Amino acid sequence: MPPQDLRLRLLATFVAIACISQLATLTLAAGVLALIVAMMALVRPPGRLWLRLLHMEGFLLLLFATLPFTVSGTPLLVLGPLTASVEGVARAALIACKVSASVLLAMALLGDVDPSRLGPALRGLHVPERLTRLFVMTVRYAGLIRDEARRLHDAMRMRGFRPGSNRHTWRSYGNLIGMMLVRALDRAQRIEDAMACRGYDGRFPYRTQPAPAVTDWVGFAGIAGIGLIALVIDRL
């Protein structure tokens, strides 16, 4: 079971992903991916998170379309002047396995965490105040900016805008981005004034968090240990 203490959960996720990113054996990376998929199926039932993974895998397909043709080795496929190598396909598969395993692990451990809890957890890990504040404010207001962009785009469609590959479309999108920046700056100024009126002095008042329980340490050791064991086996 993952640790309930969010500080240890974040730390365990970071350690495990750092170890997975250093794997150099395709078989081992595929085995770690299979293990995390099984864990994901037990911890979180299939749903929208799997759809997010499919969106990410679409970008990974670009690796299989480009990397095999840029890595020299045993020829596998010849398309005119381009030659795909077996080593290139293996390297693309290795990267895809490591990226998929890392994303799935983060989704399994942090997918259900309320973003408002991440600020105190980051401060508990002694992350600098400025980075913590930037992260918390980004998480808090990214949704508002997205909604603002959706309203502006809907307003453009109500006025008969239809995107195409022409100068009018690019000018319209440029105006849309500019208007979003202007409104975001105006909103940021209002938020800063409101926080100053409430006595904000540059630091968020986080509560002191209790010490992790023994079960949290056990969960941390289990998750981080999987990554460390996989890395040690890969180096043997």
**pLDDT of 171 strictly over 70:** yes
At residue 166 the predicted structure's pLDDT band, cuts being 50, 70 and 90, is confident
How does pLDDT run across 173-191, given as a tens digit for each residue? Answer: 888 888 888 888 888 888 8
Other Cβ atoms within 10 Å of 205 Cβ, number: 7
As a whole number of angstroms, the distance between CA 128 and CA 183 comes to 29
Tokens of 47: 């749903």
23 residue type, one letter:
L
Provide the 3-class DSSP secondary structure of residue 18: helix
**pLDDT of 39 strictly over 70:** yes
pTM of the model as a whole: 0.73
How does pLDDT run across 186-216, given as a tens digit for each residue? Answer: 888 888 888 888 777 767 766 777 788 888 8
Q: What are the boundaries of each domain within the chain?
A: 6-113+211-235, 120-197
DSSP designation for 84: E
Tokens of 207: 């509560």
In sequence order, what are the beta bridge partners of 84?
77
Rounded mean pLDDT of 104-123? 79
Round the CA-based radius of gyration of the chain to a whole number and report it: 23
How does pLDDT run across 14-33, given as a tens digit for each residue? Answer: 999 999 999 988 899 899 88
As a whole number of angstroms, the distance between CA 186 and CA 220 comes to 43
